[in-house]
Each structure stands twice: as C-alpha cells, then as structure tokens.
Structure 1
Amino acid sequence: MSQIRKHYFMDEYCIIAPRRNKRPSDYADSIFEKKTSECVFCEGYEDNTPPATAVYKNEEILQDTDNSRIKNWGIRCFPNRYPALSSKSERPSDTISTTMEGYGFHEVIVETPKHSHKVSNFSDDEIMLFMKAYQDRVTYYQSLEKIAYVSLFKNEGQKAGASIAHAHSQLIALPFIPPELKREVEVIKASETCPYCNIIVEECGGPRLLYHNEEFIVIAPYFSKVPYELWILPQRHINHISDFTEDMLGLLGDAIIFSLSSINNILKEVPYNYMFYQLQDDPKYHFNLRIQPVTSIAAGFEKNTGIYINTMPPENAVQQLKNNIS
C-alpha cells in the first residue's frame, strides 16, 4: 500500500508507492556507451580545454597559462567552455531586480586523468586529493565579492545530465542564495534545535541507516524522492566544507565511496547526481550531501505538484544495499 510522507521539517511531500515485483535490476541503466573518440578531459588533451585555474600535481596546486598546459596531473579545474554564468558579465548591484546580468562562475573539476576511472574505485590517496580539491575550490569562490552561494554537484551519466563520460564534477558560483535553500534556512532558524541533528538522532540505529564512520552517517531518508536516494550527514554540527579537518575530508570521501559502491553493486553503474548543501556564513545550517540515482524521469505529476512518486521504500532500499555489500 502506498504512503504519503512528509519531509522531516519542510512542508514538502513524497509518495512511496512500492511495486512488489520490481527487482533492483529493473532500476539499472547504463551510464554511457564505451569511449569511441578522443576525450578532451583525458590526459594529453589539455590544450582542448580552457587554461586550468587549479592543477593538483605532486602535492602542489599550479595554474596553466594561455600558452602552456601542465602535464601529469592528478586533478584539473578549469572554466566551463559553455558556462551558465560568466565573470565577464556586470556584477549585480545590492538591489536585486527581476532581471540582472548573468554574473557568476562555472568551473569543471576533472577528477582523474584516467578516462574510465570512477570515484567508487578511487584509492585512499585519490579520494583525499579529490575532497581537498572540493574544499579548495568551493572556499575560493565563496570568498569572492558578490558571490553568495557555490553550488557543487556531480552528474554521472547522460540521463543525469552529463555530456562527457570522463569523471568530473562542476561548481556554479551564484550572486544569490537559491530560493529552496532560503526556505530551508528560514525553517531552521525558527527551530529550537537543528533539524538535521535531530535527523541523525532519529535515524541512527534504525532501518534507514546504511553506514557510519567516526564523522559521518549515510541514510536512505524517510522522505526519499527517488529509489535508493542517500544522504550523507556529518555527525557533528558543521555548516560548510571549508571547516572540515583533513581527517573529516578523508572520512567524507570514504562515505561517498561506500555509498556509490553500494548503489553500483545492485544498480550496475546507474546514472546519478549528487549535490552538496552548505552555507558558509550561516552556522545554524548543517552540511549535507544528497545522492540521487536516476532511475526514472520527472513526469507531469511531479512537475505539476513538486511531489515525487518513489517506487522503492527507503527501508527496503537499505536492506537490499546491505545484502549486496561486497
């Protein structure tokens, strides 16, 4: 029987409508076709991208120039060739009107020089470097004048919005805080205790807890919009990745690898998105990362109501994920 479930603390709803005969393999989908042509993100093709603003190589952070590109790198960060926003646009005034110049920054973070290497297979050193790059790039853009929010996200697979198969993430630095996050902040500020801290207490040891380490827990949230959705939450109250210690970065990487590997074990390289939610200037906010496999598309009902129909109860999802841990 289906259930209507309310978000933990927001005025949002989802419908859990289990299909009893639906197997995990029914949700699976191929991320990409095999590589058939040159990839501009691969090592050796650096000249085919804009000059890198940050190159991670041998424990150094370097920069390309217009005339030369750094080789033998670990991670490359460079402006998106087709940016959603541009720093060349006029900076917005303090008074927001209904229309403003598309000011901001749009950066690509190429996670590895190897074309077919995926985050779920990263070594300890690779994931640590990756998390450090996330911390560095978000902190840098958040420090810029007129930037209010840095959206950090990963699209894996064509159905998740990626146009290139090579492992990469993106960030878009905005001159305003997104309305969805603003609404969350308003509710959090009106609460006597942190709603996310309450979620951690509620879910620890329960049927929706998938994983935990010294710093983070991974849950399939009670309010799950899509099948096998996972949230990664720091157990301590912390609002932004810029405040993470080196140990926390490593443990965040461990939680990400465990989560993606668990999903891949039963969904076989399903496309997915993950998104960071954080606010540097608001200590009441609680950092969280949300992983959403793409197992279906948002259709008319979802677009009309904002209510998602999820055919996999999160309690069942966690049980399946645990049963298939390799």
Structure 2
Amino acid sequence: MSEIRKHYFLEEYCIVASGRSKRPSAPKACGDEKRSSSCVFCAGYEDKTPPATAVYKNGEILQDSDNENIKNWDIRCIPNLFPALSPDADEPETSDFTVDRGYGFHEVIIENPFHESRIHHSSDDEILLLMQAYRDRVNYYQSKDGISYVSLFKNWGQKAGASLEHTHSQLIAIPLMPSCFTREMDTIKELDKCPYCDIASMENDQERYVYGNEHFVVIAPYFSMVPYELWILPLKHVNHISGFTDEMLFSLGDCIRSAVSKLNETIPELAYNYMFFQLEHETQYHFNVRIKPVTSITAGFEKNTGIYINTMPPEVAVDHLLNRD
C-alpha cells in the first residue's frame, strides 16, 4: 500500500510506500573503519591546514597567528582548503548568460580534537560549546558585505558527502538567497501566520513525536522524503540562531545529540546530513533543523519529478527509533 502525501504547507509531494516498511539495511557511514594515521583535523596536525579563523579554547575565542597555530583547542574553525566560494574570486569572463564572480566564504568547523569523537557522545559542555560556535560563526559571516545567506550543515559519512571521517560541520556564506526560502516565504506571507508554529504544536503529542525539551521538539515529519528523516523545531517562534540564548542553544544541541543518538542506535554508523534553515531578516520565518539519513540513492524518478519515494513511513520509523516495534 502506498500514499501520496502533501507537504504541510507547500505544493510538494512525496510517496510513502508503506508496504515496504522493513528496516533498510545498515549502510556504512565511513567506508574505512580504521583510524587515519595522519588526519589533518586531529590535534597535533594544525600545521597541515590553513590557519584557523577562530579557535575555541578554555572559554576563549582566539585566532591563529601567521607564525603560530594554537594547540590544545576545543573547537577549531578553518577556511576550506577547496572552497566552493572565495572572497578573492576573480571576475568571470564575459558570457551571453548570467554569471557573477564566485564571491563568498567556505569554512570548516572541526567539532572536537579527537578523531574517534561523535556528536552523540558529546558532553553537555561540549554540545553547548558547539552550538555557541555555530551561532558565532553564522553571525560573523552574515555580517560580511555582500552576503545574503549563510548555509550551516553537517555531513557525516562518505555516503552523505563527507570527504574526511573526523567529525566536522561546514558553513558556506553566499551572495544570494536560495530559491527554496523564497518559495517558503511567499507561502508563509500568503497564509499570514507561521505554519511551523502550527506543526510544532500539532506534532508535539502525535505518533510522529521523537523527543523534546523545554524549547524544542524532534519529530519525524508527516511529509518525510527519506526514511528516518527528522525535523527539530523551536516550540516558540524564532527566525534565526542569532536570537538564541545560551539556554536555547543547549536545548537545541540536546535535541541534535538525542536525534543522532537514536539514529545511531537504530542503524549503527548511519550516514546523514543535518542542515540549519533560518533567515536573519525575515521574522516570519521559523528556524528549523532537518536531519536526512542516507539510506538509498536518489534515482531517476526523484530527479525527474522532484517527488521522493520513501519506503519507511515516519510513523513506523518512530516506532523503530523509540524501540516500540
């Protein structure tokens, strides 16, 4: 039996094939299980990367100098060695088509100095510090001239696009607004209310509820594009991480840690992406984080239609995540 489900408020659809609701096989997140002997993100290899733009150490935010890299750090932020965009990008050649220079910023946030670290093993202090670093770095690049949007995301595992196995997040600051936000905001303004507030309230006590705390709720959305997809929503309306108190940051980190932990307990070493969705200057937007595990390959139908076939109904996924099956 299959269902065609509509997005909560957008004209988007997915196919939930409930007749194929067996657990997907456990994909490997990292391919090579052996510890790299020379991981450039590990403590002690600071000279193998570009100088850090921000170093979190013992409650201070520091910066590498031209002659010395800071050691014994907690979190280290560095320019991506192979950036998608650069502040020093050259002007493009003349073209008959629209083209602008590849201006922007691309940063790697090394979340922990230890190679074997995992985000779901983070202590309370570690998860709060990471969320604080997220807020700091987003705010820093959002303030740069010519930047319209800062994309913050984490790829975990080769199948999710991570080229290095050491846990890290990335940030790409771009000079344009992604069309997905334009489409969402057009609909939100037409509705004249926040649909995410309704979703957070409605799903907070439904069968798709996974976890929650004082400030956030974790749900498997009714409109789930992939098996075990999870959304993290603030219970009260807030549009951007810059408006978060430290208490809210910890609550957010607690939800991310719990969600990833439940995914890992269900399918060990599952590859995933999590992405922050937020708009600094659109107060009608509702901040949210979406976690999309990688359990299958996007194939021809999805690429042809934009409609995803999900073999794991979110209601069944929650039973698995909460060990109710």
Residue in 2 that maps onto 1:29: 28
Q: Does 1:83 align with 2:80?
A: no
Residue 123 (structure 2) aligns with: 123
How does the TM-score come out when normalised to structure 2?
A: 0.95
Conservation of the 8 A alpha-carbon contact between 1:91 and 1:146: no
Output the amino acid matched with 2:251: L
Q: 5+ unaligned residues in a row in structure 1: which ranges? A: none
1:184-220 Cα offsets, whole Å, 9 max, x none, are: 1111111121010111122121010111100000000
The answer for unaligned runs of 5 or more in structure 2 is none
Residue 16, structure 1, aligned to residue 23, structure 2: no
Q: How many residues align?
A: 320
Residue correspondence of structure 1 range 102-141 to structure 2 within 5 A: 102-141=102-141
CA contact (8 A) 1:29 1:267 kept: no
- Tell me which residue corresponds to 2:289: 289
Match of 2:233 in 1: 233
Please name the residue that 2:258 is paired with.
258
Aligned pairs for 1:61-100 within 5 A: 61-89=61-89, 98-100=98-100
Question: Do 1:265 and 1:324's aligned partners in 2 also have CA atoms closer than 8 Å?
Answer: no
- Aligned position for 2:193: 193
Query: Over aligned residue pairs, what C-alpha RMSD do you find?
Result: 1.6
Helix, strand or coil: the match of 1:323? coil
Q: Deviations over 1:55-88 (max 9, x none)?
A: 0000000000222100000000010000000001
Separation in 2 of the partners of 1:246 and 1:90?
39
What's the secondary structure of 2:217's corresponding residue? strand
> In 2, distance between residues paired with 1:186 and 1:300?
29
Q: Identify the residue that residue 202 of structure 1 maps to in structure 2.
A: 202
Verify the 8 A CA contact 2:54 2:77 in the aligned structure 1.
yes
Paired position in structure 1 for 2:54: 54
| 2:276 alignment partner, SS class | strand
- C-alpha displacement of 1:318: 0.7
| Partner Cα separation in structure 1 for residue 204 and residue 132 of structure 2 | 28
Counterparts of 1:263 and 1:91, CA distance in 2 = 44
Is the 8 Å Cα contact of residues 231 and 290 (structure 1) preserved in structure 2?
A: yes
* Identity score, percent: 61
1:64/1:166 Cα in 2 relative to 1: closer, same or farther (>3 Å)?
A: same
Letter paired with 1:193: K
Q: Assess, with a 3 A threshold, how the Cα gap between structure 1 residues 16 and 130 changes in structure 2: closer, same or farther.
A: same
Partners in 1 of 2:236 and 2:321 — Cα distance?
25
In 1, distance between residues paired with 2:265 and 2:83? 34
